[in-house]
Amino acid sequence: MKIREKWVNEKNPYLFFFLFFTFFCIILRADERDTWHQPDKVMDVVGVKPGMIIGEVGAGHGYFTFHLSRRVGESGKIYANDIASRALASLRRKCESEGITNIETIVGEVEDPLLPKGILDMVFIVNAFHDLAKPVELLNNLVPSLKPDAPVVIIDRDPTKFRDSAGHFLTEEEILEKIEQSDFELDRIETFLTKHNIYVIRVGKEMQKINEEGKCGIKISGNKREMI
């Protein structure tokens, strides 16, 4: 231990300052993301409440997941989905280190997030919709997981609000086109975020009726629809 302390003091006199600066940057980055996403206001606007059961598609390392977790509380539940198992492993480690017990991770498929059936009050897709390989199929495979009239909330960057020289993000028109191709209908668009738009969608009335009367869902795989 003494050798290590001597090495730190003599060989790396600026190590403390480097570590402090790194920690400061992490905190600053988190604050910056909160400024862009305004998670508390977003949850207020779309109606996230304590006790809710919520699915999140493309949760990644859990930036928005933990905001949802705090809002729904111990009586609620968050199902955090992603196809990247390493990202979800990181999310689980944070849950373990902080004693968070209301988050469950689910490794999904490209077309299907594999969320539990019939119990979700809401689904979030934050900063992930533009990266989905098969967004229409994935949206349709959410239908069996949702309670009647439960919304899906898509939060994605709007290229008109910032410089997207690479053309990586979808325009509002492109997102609306994919929603129209799915079994969902647009409820409303919220535009108060500085870099993102919020699309609140719900299962179309015809599909909702089929889903309720049949008491089953429809599994989408490519162009095939399979009752489940």
Q: How many domains does the chain have?
A: 2
Same structural domain for residues 24 and 134? no
Residue 164: which pLDDT band, with cuts at 50, 70 and 90? Answer: confident
The CATH number that applies at residue 82 is 3.40.50.150
**DSSP for residue 56:** E
Same structural domain for residues 45 and 131? yes
* Whole-number Cα distances in Å, 54 to 14, 40, 167: 45, 15, 31
- C-alpha 120/C-alpha 116 separation (Å) is 8
CA 74, 47, 149, 56 torsion-angle sign: negative
Residue 163: which pLDDT band, with cuts at 50, 70 and 90? Answer: confident
Least confident of 54-63, 95-104, 154-163: 154-163
Same structural domain for residues 10 and 104? no
Same structural domain for residues 29 and 43? no
Residue 33: which pLDDT band, with cuts at 50, 70 and 90? Answer: confident
Same structural domain for residues 140 and 82? yes
- C-alpha 199/C-alpha 127 separation (Å) is 12
Looking at residue 226, its pLDDT comes to 58
Where is pLDDT greater, at 13 or 145?
145
The single residue listed with the structure tokens 């910032």 is 162
Same structural domain for residues 124 and 220? yes
Range of the domain at 155: 38-227
Looking at residue 91, its pLDDT comes to 98
Looking at residue 17, its pLDDT comes to 45
